[in-house]
Amino acid sequence: MKKYTYKYRKEKTRTGEIVYRPVAHVYLRGKDNNFYLFDIYIDSGADMSLFNRSDCSLLGYDLEEGIEKFFGGIGGNLIRTFVHQVPVKNRRNRV
């Protein structure tokens, strides 16, 4: 298994508190075969990474053409999502 180290970014919460969050810089391939840079939060306990409708649109994917799934988190509520297989690379490697 490969190991990656990511820096923590200093951010301000909605309440004004300063926190440090792990951020990765990844490139996602759009339908046009171009790669687009995203700064994403690292969540080592997540089953999947979630992006919003705008991100999906930017990449040229039709959101609801993905596989419909429901995910839950710490709050206990389920959210409706659509899963797409999107090629990804980071600054250190290719797809």
Domain residue ranges of the chain, discontinuous segments joined by +: 8-90
Cα–Cα distance measured from residue 39 to residue 91, given in angstroms and rounded to the nearest whole number: 12
**pLDDT, tens digit, for every residue of 41-91?**
988 878 888 899 999 999 999 999 999 999 887 788 999 999 999 999 876
pTM of the model: 0.75
The fold adopted by the segment(s) 8-90 is: Cathepsin D, subunit A; domain 1 (2.40.70)
The angle subtended at Cα 18 by Cα 76 and Cα 41, nearest 5°, is 50
- The CB density around residue 37, as the number of other CB atoms within 10 Å, is 9
Q: What is the pLDDT of residue 43?
A: 85
3-state secondary structure of 56: helix
CB 10 within 8 A of CB 22: no
